[in-house]
Structure formats: structure tokens, C-alpha cells
Chain A
Amino acid sequence: MQLWRSISRLAWRESRTARRRLLLSMSSISLGVGALVAIDSFAANLTSSLREQSRALLGGDIAFAARRPFTPAADSLFDSLSTSGVQLAYSTNFPSMAVIKRTGNTRLVQIRAVSAEYPLYGQITTEPAGKWRELQTGAHALIDPSLLVALDTRVGDTITVGYARFLIAGTVKDVAGTPGIAEMIGPRVFIPARYLAETQLLQFGSTAGYEVLGRTTSPGVAARVSQAVRPRRRALDISVRTAEETEDNVSEAIAQLAQFIGVVGLVALLLGGLGVASGVHAFVARKIDTVAILRCLGATSRQVLAVYVLQAAIMGLVGAAFGVVLGLGMQLLVPMALSDILPVDVSVRPEPSAMLAGLLVGAWVALAFALRPLLALRQISPLQTLRRDADSNVLKMRWRDAPRLLVNAAIAASVVTIAVLRTGSLREGIAMSAGAGAALLLLAASAEFLSWLARKAVRPRWPYVLRQGISNLHRPANQTRPVILALGFGAFLVTTLYVVQSSLLARFSLGVGSSSANVVFFDVQQDQRPGVDSLVLAGAERLVQRAPVVVMRVASINGVLVSDDRIESTPDGPRARWALRREFRSTFRDTLVSSEKLVAGRWDASTRIGSDTSSISVEQDLARDLRLKLGDIVSWDVQGVPVVTRITSLRAVDWNRFEPNFFIVFRPDALAAAPTQFILTAKTLDAGQTARLQRAIVSRFPNVSSIDLSLIQNTIGKIIDRVTVAVRFLALFSLAMAIPVLVSAVAGARRERVREGVLLKTLGATRAQVARVMLAEYTALGVLGSATGLLLAYVAGWAITRFVFETDFAPAIGASLGIAALMIALTVTIGLLAGREVFRETAMAALRSD
């Protein structure tokens, strides 16, 4: 016990001159710990906020929804709920054109026709305040503030929706349960439900969502109602959800998101571990003399190791604690950055469990990675006091040293354990650890390659400084491996973020750019078609496409009715429920369009299979989800009329194009008698022409909605801007992470470089020559490190875009080159700064102090 006390005292005193340096090495771990603490705390905050606000999120304790007007059976269910004490609120939601009478401006909006009881939970705040209560007192509308600008309108104007007119009473500031970004995607107009009929917009086949929210009197009622209704929901044609289920779903989604972002934190932690390892390696080299003295004075190898492990453990703990504080700071920033896309207000509070976990994981990772270089201290001979060998010889360890193998195994096991715990899946955890391991191996291999290349490539005719600089890459005590690892990993992280971002953005811009039409009109009824056609032909440059739309549902597949439970299972696996129950908006034509490609079967519009069976073409992803094959017989319920079809072809559809695309394409004559709507796309020259055309059509046909594609482009642009900001933040974070690691890596060889530089100066080298030697070395390291990182990033980026986002890979050449240049500059700067003593001191002074 006394001995341990003495060892601790010695460890504390002996750390005096090295605390700052050791802490710098350990700070590599701080950013990783910070990321983990921030992510976990934020996820926990979000989950508890969700729990508190789940009713506001759903709008009630229970919600019933339908895509068609409620059936009489559903209505009688609501009546019975109402009489048993459940308070109900109604809401009908659908897209429509809104027109401002004063200016004539039009815009596609989301109409929300709500009953007086809405919302049952949560608050809707308005500007001016208190207008929500006034909404139901007359033909009033409350609109999203963005519409004030988009429609160039103001409170007090009249807004026309369909055939009804409303007075704009104010704007809605905050609607409980909807994220801010919802306003950007579809600006909302709230109107009283009793004026819905006046709009005359809800015709047969219109796209609308019907919702009934319920507030129960006692807990548990919602779950019981939900359980009772669930078996009958197909017959009632409604879906049912409770607040608890919503909370579970959202919590699950958040947990998955947190896991995904947590991967970045884990990689940060690993990178921090590498930084610790190279920093501690440099620290150990500086301690050779002291350890040799301690050995002379009778210290055993265990005592020596104990002194320095204790120092590293305490500094690791301090580094991790610093990370926890950093994490708390980042946790405050996250809700600010995400407030627009979160459905609830997140109250930020410290999460002790996340903080403790971050502290322990960080301290452990720091210690495990520090142990590897620290083990070399055991073998420092006391003879070094009499005869000093080169650092690299003193610290050279046998490959098969048992404690070293044990530490390696402990590091690998720790990484896998943390990864498995964080991803929550053994397979994913192991795969992720293997991926990180493979990246490290590749970087280490590329460092070896650089050393080999440096040995082979140097030519006697090269200028001296270049030869010297390049040769430093393979000479004893070189820093090639740690620098390439740190630099490569940093470049890898940052570039991966950028190439994934660029691939995702390329998808959007391709979609908008290749479309020749820039305005779309939909919900055009059959009898309105000639009128709309002539207005478009007169007001636009040209009419690009006119597609008929027929609304239908699946009635049966190969004779099995959709109401029969057996329909869901097939020998090839289960059919996707969403597709079995959804409403399809299909078209009919006799040719393929430019966004489609035939992938199976034959496109033969003239095929008549039998008098009652027509051929259809199915989109390949839908066919996969519904387990449909060529030759399958699908019967459709076309608004009450059965239509039997056989699948004769499968198509690949490019959904990213802003063109009318369809899951199912029928033969032209098969749906001749069905009630049909139309979608028209047109090309206009400018925004003015678009606005005039929209006004002309809405004023004659108020039910016809239209979208100006340039507005969508703007909205996407705004979303992209937010994504870009998030990506930049992550990239900056990765870069900030790479710096301490790089500093630690360079510090490893600093003593050797300074000693060498001073010797060169003693032998007559000018300061400029010494600087050029260092420049050559660090530039070579920077170039290869960045190049390897970029290569890895392109492989990872390709894999992520291809397999996670299922889109084409678009390389970000400019950004990649910029990152590489930045990384090279960073390496050279850190290298020259680390070796600045060479320039500052005279040869004699440096040699004496050495």
C-alpha cells in the first residue's frame, strides 16, 4: 500500500514537465467523446420531449385517418365514441390552388379544414395573437407566414380557395406537432371545416386526407379503442393510431438516426485513439533517460510501467472529461440547427448517463491506445544511463511480446464492443469495426509503400534538399506511418461527406434540369380538358405532355381477393402491405415515354389477351414489392368497376424527373369508360408567363391545381442549403478532429528532426536549406496521405450512394482537390511549426540542450 502511495506520488511529481504535452495527446480523444455525448444526450432529450409532447404530435390520444371520405360505418363508430365521452375533432387536408383576389397571385397550398375542437392537444399560436379562436367565427383563414411573401398578400386580404372566399385573419406561428420545414414544402391555409363544401373542391377521386382525432377521458381508453377497431379497419376503410404508437415510431426512427450519426462519433473516437497512440509514443521517447535512471535506482519494470500508466490514465480521464464538457456545448447547438426539421420542441438538459458513458468510454479508449506505446518502457535498460542508443532502437519491441499482443487484442475487442453496443447489432458492429480496420490497414500499407518508394526513387542527381527530405520518409525514426494514418483518415472522412453530398445533390439537379416542362396542371376533370387545353396552348410556349389519370385500387391478385389475408404471403415472400392497400393513379397509353425503359416482357399495346383481360405494364420496384411476375392476373377496382388485367411487361422508371410517371400503364382502350382526370405539363418562357397562365386557368377552373417547377427548385435549393450547412459542420468537425491527431503524429519524430536540422546547420546548412528539407518531407507526406484518403473516400462514397441511397455516384472533383490542398497545407504547417526550434536556436545552443 505504502509502495503504491509512493508510486502515485512519483507519478504525479514526474509528470510536472510533461502534463501539458500529455494532455495535448489525450485531447485527441476529446472531440470523439464530445460527439458521442452530444449525440446520446440529444437523442435522450428528444425522446423525453417526445414522450411529453406525443399527444400534441398526433393531435389527440387516438387518430383515425382515411384517404376517402369516411364510410357510414366509420361515421357511426365516431358517433358511438362521441356518446361514450370521447371528444372528437375533424380535419380534412388536401392540396389546392389559392388565389389572392387583390393581386391575382396564385400558389399551390395545403388546405386544412378543421372543426372547432381542433387541436385537442397543444397550442396553435398566431400573429396577431389569439386569432385561432376567431377562425371558427366566420369565413376566416389563417395562413403560413411564407404565403404572405409568396402571394404578395397581407392580413385583411381575401383569399380564394376553389369557389369559396376567406378573410385572412392572421398567420400561424407555431403549430404543435409539425416541423417548421413542413411550411417550406407545402404552405398551409387553415379554414373552418363548415366552409369545406363551399369550396366545391372535394369531388369524386380528389386527393384528400380525412382525419378524426379523439381525446379520451381516462388513460388506456385509446389503446382499448385502437385494439377493438384494428380488426375492422379494412371494413371501415380507416387506419388507426394512438399517441403511444406515434411516440414509439418516432423514438425508433430517432434511435436509428442517432445510431447512424453515432458512427461518426465512433470513428472520431478511433481517430482520437490513434492520436493518443502517436502522442504517447513521442512522450515515451522523451522519457527514456528518466526511466533508465529509475531502473538504476532500483525500479522494477512493473513499477516503471505503473508510474506512466497512472499518468496516462489520469490525463486520459481529463481529456475525456474535457470531451464531456465539449459534448454539452455541442448538445446545446444541435436543437438550434435542427429546430426546423424536428416535430417537437426539444428541451435541452444534461443527461448524466450519456455523460458518464462518454467519460468512461473515452478514458478507456485513451488508456488502451496509450498502453501500446507505454509497454515499450518495460524494456528500457538501465545501461542507457551509461551508453545511450537511438530512441528507435531503445523502444523497439518484439513482435511476439505477450503483453503487447494482449493490448492489441484488448484494443480490437474494445472497438468491436463499443461498435456493437452503439449500432445495437452484432453484425453491423463487427462490419463497421472491420471497415474501420480495413481503412487503417490500407493507410498503413500505403505508408509502407511510400517508404519503399522513397527508398527506390531518390536519384543522386536530385537537388540535395529534395534527396534529404524524401529520404527522411524511410530512414530510421521516420514519421511516415503515423502521419499518413492521421492525415489519410482525416481526408477520408471529410471527402466521403462531400462526395456523398455531391451525389445526392446531382440527383436533384439532374431531375430538374432535364425536364423540358416547367409548369404542371393536375386534377383536370374530363369535361374541363378542352378548356384547359386551349388556355395552355394560348398562354404557354407549348403543351409538353397530357396524361390521363384513373384512380384505382388492387382488388385481387391471381384470384385471391385483397380482403383475404392469404394475399399477403407468396412462395417468394410477403407482399408489401402499403402497395396492396394504396390508391393507384394509373394512366393508359400505347407508347413508352422518355423516362421509362422496358426491362422485362413485351410492350405491345395491341395485345388482346381475351375479351375481358387487358395487358398492363408494371414498374419494376412495385412488381418486386408486390411479388408480381409477368403473366400474373391482377384485378383492379376502378371506382367500383372491376377491370381484369394480365402483366405483360415490366418497366424501369426514372422517378427523379419532374414528369408525370406512373406505376401502372394500361392499354388505351381498357379504361375508356373509366372516370378520368388529366395531368398537363407545359413550357413557359418566364415566371411572368407562368403566373399569367396559372391565373387564367384557376379563375376559370378553380379545382385545377398547378405547380411552378421553379418554385419546387427553389424549395429544393433551400433544403439543399440546409443539408450543405450540416455537411460543412460535420466536415469542419472531422477536420478539427484530425488536427490534434496530426500534431501528435508529427510530434513523434520532432526530436529527431530538430536534432538532424541542428546537425545540418552545424555542418553549414542555411536555415532556408533546412526549411526546404522539411518542406520536401512534409509535402510528400501530405500528398500521399491525402491521395490515399481520397481514394478510400471515393470507394466508401460510391458504396454509400450505391447501396444506402441507391443513386448514381457523382464525384466531387473540385471539393476533393480543395480538401487535398487543405490537408497538404495543414501537414506542412504543422510540420514546420513543430520543427521551428531548428530555426530559432543557434546550432550550439540546441546541441547543448540536447
Chain B
Amino acid sequence: MLVATNLTKEYQSGSSSLTALRDVSFSIPQGDLVAISGPSGSGKTTLLGLLAGLDTPTRGTVVLDGDDITAMSEDGRARLRGAKVGFVFQSFQLIPALTALENVQVPLELRGERDVSVRAQELLSRVGLGKRGSHFPAQLSGGEQQRVAIARAFANSPRILFADEPTGNLDGVTGEMIMDTVVELNRESGTTVIIVTHEQTVAARARRLIRLTDGAMVEDRTL
């Protein structure tokens, strides 16, 4: 369960202030698949950052699985992310010095778990990259990199997955395959998935659509 209440984010630039997000409130039940959509500069990424605890709001609260993350310290939020949150980014954001397998292991290792390679190998196999574990990110195609990122995102069995334009850097067919994987994992694991996208085809795969314009929520409907 994710509850956002009156989320507002203002940026101060000299004497003038810019409102990136204005009084956004909604609640997302566990296991839902939600798309956040809107034109460039509408506040999509800002909202994602606040919901995932990567940033703090100027006003308002975010309660994730019963925890008010807006009241937590940065390290408290990091621990929460490590335990309950997964991420998929437009630019994949794999650690270049680590192999595919090692990238998937990182969230587990940060929690001090043992025998992480078995679980990481399982996850890689699930995204169809069982034999590419020893490759470095630079040796993988964009689609493969994003699949590694998805395997990594699911490594800690997150309660919620945030995806920022997950198909933005991929061609149409590869993008479709990635979305298939995400939807499948959502269905199988019961993980809440929140996708930020400006692509209609991606948004159409969600069960609920939240649309933003100029920092305000202008639409919230079930698809």
C-alpha cells in the first residue's frame, strides 16, 4: 500500500521559487500496476523521486507499506529501499565495473545475505539471461542491460517497483519484451509496480493511469 498526501515540491532558485509538484494525493493498493504519465516537465520524475524516497517533499507525506518515509533520515530511507523497493531506470544504471550476475547480487549483499549468487542466477535465468551472468554491462545490448536491471530490481523481493521510462532507450520490439517481463513479474510476485512514462503504449499496459500536467494531477482512472 502506497499513500501520497498533499505532495508538493518547490525548488528555490535565487529569490524566485518554482513549483514542480502541487498537492498531489492518491493511494495505491498492494499489487497494483500504475502508470504515471504526462508531457515533458509535468513533474513525473519529481513525483517518482518523492514516492521512492529519493527526495524529500516541501510539503505532504508518503506512507509506504505503513512507514512514513518523509519522516525518515536519508539512511533510514536507504534501508527501507534496500528492504522493500526496486528500481528500473531509462538508462539502465548498472554498475559498469560489475558483471551482470554481480549487479543482481548487490541489493542482497548490501543486506548482508549469504549465498546470494544462487538467487541472483535464478533471477537472471527468469529474465532469460542465465548464460550471460559473467558479462559486463558494456558487453550487453540495451535490452539485455535492462533485463539485468529488472532482475536486480526483483532481487530483494520488493513490495514496490519504480520504473522510470523503462523503455525510453530501447527500440519498439525490445520495449514490448521488457514490458512483458515487468507485467509478468507483477502478476507472479504481487509487487506493486509504478511506471513513469510518456509513451501511450507503455501506459496502456497498466491497470491504472495517473496523468500530470504542470505539476498537478489532472487525471486518475482505472484502465
Give A contacts to B, CB under 8 Å.
2-3, 6-7, 9-10, 13-18, 289-290, 292-303, 381-383, 385-387
Contact = CB atoms under 8 A, between A and B. Distances in A.
Contacts of B55: 381, 383
A395 to B, nearest CB: 16
Contacts of B45: 386-387
A297 B82 contact: yes
A631 B193 CA distance: 104
Interface string B69-102: 0000011001111110101010001111110001
Given A297-B81, A297-B82, A386-B45, A6 B110 contact: yes
B71 to A, nearest CB: 17
Given A6-B113, A299-B110, A383-B54, 14 more contacts: A9-B109, A14-B97, A16-B97, A289-B93, A295-B81, A296-B54, A298-B81, A298-B82, A298-B107, A299-B78, A299-B82, A301-B74, A381-B55, A382-B78
B29 interface: no
Q: Which 9 A-B pairs have the closest CB atoms?
A: A298-B82, A3-B112, A6-B109, A300-B75, A16-B97, A17-B97, A383-B54, A298-B81, A382-B54
Contacts, number: 95
A291 B123 CA distance: 23
A383 B74 CA distance: 11
A385 B79 contact: no
B112 A296 contact: no
B144 interface: no
B74 to A, nearest CB: 7
A15 B54 contact: no
Nearest to A297: B107
A3 B112 CA distance: 4
For the residues of A in contact with B, the DSSP-based class is helix
B61 interface: no
B48 A386 contact: yes
Contact of A385 (B54, B106, B112, B116): B54
Contact of B109 (A10, A302, A382, A386): A10
Nearest to B164: A386
B152 interface: yes
Interface string B23-58: 000000000000000000000010011001011000
A386 B54 contact: yes
B107 A290 contact: no
A303 B82 CA distance: 12
Given A383-B55, A386-B48, A298 B114 contact: no
B136 to A, nearest CB: 9
Nearest to A6: B109
Given A303-B110, A385-B87, A298 B78 contact: yes
Contacts of A293: 93-95
Size band of the interface chain B makes with A: 35 or more
Contacts of A294: 95, 106, 110
A18 B54 contact: no
Nearest to A18: B97
B111 interface: yes
A150 B105 CA distance: 81
A278 B114 CA distance: 37
A298 B106 CA distance: 9
A297 B87 contact: yes
Contact of B111 (A298, A301, A382, A386): A298
Contact of A301 (B75, B83, B106, B114): B75
A819 B93 CA distance: 47
Given A298-B156, A386-B89, A2 B96 contact: no
A355 B45 CA distance: 55
The residue among B75, B79, B85, B156 with the most chain A CB atoms within 10 A of its own CB is B75
Contacts of B107: 297-298
Contacts of B75: 300-302
The residue among A2, A6, A294 with the most chain B CB atoms within 10 A of its own CB is A6
A296 B52 CA distance: 9
A14 B111 contact: no
A14 B95 CA distance: 8
Nearest to A290: B95
B78 A290 contact: no
Given A2-B113, A300-B75, A13 B97 contact: yes
The residue among B45, B97, B102 with the most chain A CB atoms within 10 A of its own CB is B97
Contact of A2 (B81, B102, B112): B112
Nearest to A2: B112
A292 B48 CA distance: 15
B49 A386 contact: yes
Contacts of A298: 78-83, 85, 107, 110-111, 156
A9 B116 CA distance: 12
